[in-house]
Chain A
Amino acid sequence: MSLPIEPFVVADDRAVSGAAGTTGAPDYVVFLGRRRLVLARLRRNRAAMAALVLLVLLLVSAFLGPMTYSWITGASYTDYDVTEVLQPPSAEHWFGTTGIGGDVFAQTMRGLQKSLLIGFLVAVISTGLAAVVGAFAGYLGGWVDRVLMWAVDLLLVIPSFLVVAVLGRGLGEAGWPVLALLIALFAWMITARIVRGTTLSLREREFVLAARYSGVSAPGIVFRHLIPTMSSLLIIDATINVATAIIAESGLSYFGFGVRPPDVSLGTLIASGTQSAFTFPWLFLFPGGLLVLTTLAVSVLGDGLRDALDPGSTRRARR
């Protein structure tokens, strides 16, 4: 169904519209669900759409790229051709070669895979944790709320980069999922506070009261009513967390506290490229450029989602 110029939405509930033509409402009144409206607003935001396309491209090249690349040029992540050391970008090696003959494109794609995986994992864990803790704290109140918020304040005080760096060094051999868990453990606190605030205002709404009086248990109310109501907030937060998680992980890996060799991530690649950034710039610029592109795409998409889900946040100054 194509949209008229600016559809006048009467209700979210399709039951109101009934069978075609029986409501007596004029033709230009269109009943749309909230999801359609949000998607339409998102589609109109050209920057966010471009970011989405870019992100899909990056995902495809990160996960399908290496196979296609080795099919086209024959080079892969584990090949070290010592006859072609430190070559600039060419047809056989799209991003050039490293100091020991490794192919930069293959390594960068592998690093991008790792960074994207860690970013998404951190976002999911931290947003999930924030949602659960915040909703329970807000809904149950009392001493549960006090204890949970005290824990949140405590975690906010800790210098998180330092602690994750130290712990990452101690647990380095356990692999990147543990690293993702560590980063997520220090990323959920602010969202938990926001979720708690929203829960406090949602607590007295009729649908929650109705659920309570019908005997739904507290966890049931939290998971089946409160958290789904806040889903737009959580989606925006998760998207933005992906960007911050990727930057955090690459920062840690840059110093050697995150992903360890022989694993590569964009951070480790940038670190090894930094020493030769002046003389062999392709070692540094390609991983770094891809990192910036990824984070940029995710940030712009998150911003676009926020504008689509909450149009009151776009401001027009009245002259």
Chain B
Amino acid sequence: MGRFLLRRLVHHLVLVFVATTLAYVVASIALDPRSRYEGRNPAPPPAAVDAQLSAYGVNDKDPLIERYAHWMGGVLRGDFGTTVTGGSINDELWSRALVSLRLLVIGSVVGAVIGVLVGVVSAVKQHSFTDRLFTAVSFVFIATPVFFTAVLLKLGALQVNEAAGETVLYYTGYETPGLEAGFWDTVKDQVAHLILPTLSIALGLIAVFSRYQRNAMLDVMNSDFVRTAQAKGLTRRHALYKHGLRTALIPMASLLAFSLGTLVVGATFTEKIFGWHGMGEWVVDSITRDDINVTATVALFTAVFVLFSTLISDVLHAVLDPRVRVTA
């Protein structure tokens, strides 16, 4: 299993490098930081604009290879360059990354776990009212984009807050600014701020996972080895949950890897709508502001996150499916 994971790690590292390079190249070609200096009155001298852009490493008159090598060299040393306003990217990077990671990790875990549970219940009680209800709701949530769900949740939170007379559900920011409290109170405050954004991401994930889990579980329920286990004398429940569930979970590991891309995009919408200062909000702002370095940095972060999560899902796959460990 070690060799299997090592091979996958190398494979993913190459992909991270390729993805970041492509993102940098595309951003350099399509974004135009020079336009930030146009239309100013009095117009700054071209030489000064060029010098400024070169200092930031985004001068379109410098050869692309040079700019890329300069930026990549910096990255390998841990320096991600400067934004178009001259600030250092490193300063903001870690705080924003932590904010985003909080949302992504908790959202994906909650979404996956509850999705699996819903799928199992749906399959075991196939064609019952519960199953039909879950299926219909899943379809609706798969069809709803994250930004719509997020704003609807905000609307709902407003009603709840008004009905309760006090702020029960927070819908702005990831913590109350200026809160001076002990450790547990801070944790409680942050959890309270997490509820709505996590729900926004998790609901879509739950819908997708429950559909696939239901199908996988139904396949398992019809399979021969479950029937054999029951013939041996196990109760249906014992046979299903001890033997069947593990087999039904195997496709979920692959699904987790596939759903990461949508998860990150969904987190971007959620951050923007709930006012979380994370990587998603940063990249949207930076594309609007023609900031090449930040865009490439966030692409790198996304690729690394996808790498780690794919590795975790590979590990899960190996844990659940012994055939992977043997053949690798």
Contacts and interface: CB of A to CB of B under 8 A. Distances in A.
A binds B: yes
Interface of A: 154, 157-163, 165-167, 169-171, 243, 247, 250-251, 254-257, 270, 274, 277-278, 281, 284, 288, 291-292, 295-296, 299-300, 303, 315-318
A260 B2 CA distance: 50
B26 A257 contact: no
Given A277-B151, A299-B142, A163 B22 contact: yes
A277 B150 CA distance: 11
Most chain A CB within 10 A, of B215, B265, B295, is at B265
Contacts of A250: 145
B219 interface: yes
B221 interface: yes
Given A158-B23, A160-B261, A278-B158, A166 B295 contact: yes
A251 B269 contact: yes
Main secondary structure, interface of B, reads: helix
B147 interface: yes
Interface in B294-310: 295, 298-299, 302-303
B127 to A, nearest CB: 9
Interface residues of B, number: 48
Contacts of A281: 155
Is chain A's binding surface mostly helix, strand, loop or mixed? Answer: helix
Contact of A254 (B123, B155, B269): B269
A308 to B, nearest CB: 17
B76 interface: no
A317 B145 contact: no
A296 B140 contact: yes
B15 interface: yes
B283 A299 contact: no
Contacts of A288: 148, 151-152
Nearest to B295: A166
Nearest to B211: A303
A315 B214 CA distance: 10
Contact of A284 (B146, B151, B215, B261): B151
A169 to B, nearest CB: 6
Given A278-B155, A288-B148, A317-B222, A158 B126 contact: no
B60 to A, nearest CB: 12
B22 A158 contact: yes
Given A251-B147, A292-B148, A317-B222, A163 B215 contact: no
Given A170-B31, A281-B155, A159 B148 contact: no
B133 interface: no
Given A159-B303, A299-B142, A317 B123 contact: yes
Interface in B130-170: 139-140, 142-148, 151-152, 154-155, 158
A281 B145 CA distance: 18
B19 interface: yes
B27 interface: yes
Contacts of A166: 23, 26-27, 30-31, 287, 295
Contacts of B273: 274
A255 B284 contact: yes
A318 B145 contact: no
Nearest to B303: A159
A214 to B, nearest CB: 41
26 contacts: A157-B15, A159-B19, A159-B261, A159-B264, A159-B302, A161-B265, A161-B268, A162-B283, A163-B23, A166-B27, A166-B295, A169-B288, A247-B145, A250-B145, A251-B265, A255-B287, A257-B287, A277-B151, A277-B154, A278-B158, A292-B140, A292-B148, A295-B144, A303-B139, A317-B126, A317-B222
A121 to B, nearest CB: 19
Given A159-B299, A162-B302, 13 more contacts: A160-B261, A161-B264, A162-B23, A162-B298, A165-B284, A166-B27, A166-B31, A166-B295, A171-B30, A251-B145, A251-B147, A256-B288, A257-B287
Contact of B222 (A254, A278, A315): A315
B121 interface: no
A9 B268 CA distance: 52
Contacts of B144: 292, 295
Contacts of A255: 272, 284, 287-288
Interface in B154-194: 154-155, 158
A274 B151 contact: yes
A254 B272 CA distance: 11
B325 to A, nearest CB: 24
B287 A165 contact: yes
Nearest to B12: A157
Contacts of A158: 19, 22-23
Interface string B14-30: 01001100110011011
The 7 closest A-B pairs by CB, nearest first: A170-B30, A295-B143, A296-B143, A315-B218, A157-B15, A288-B148, A317-B221
A284 B264 CA distance: 24
Given A251-B265, A274-B273, A292-B148, A162 B30 contact: no
A121 B222 CA distance: 40
A296 B139 contact: yes
A247 B221 CA distance: 34
A66 to B, nearest CB: 23
Nearest to A271: B147
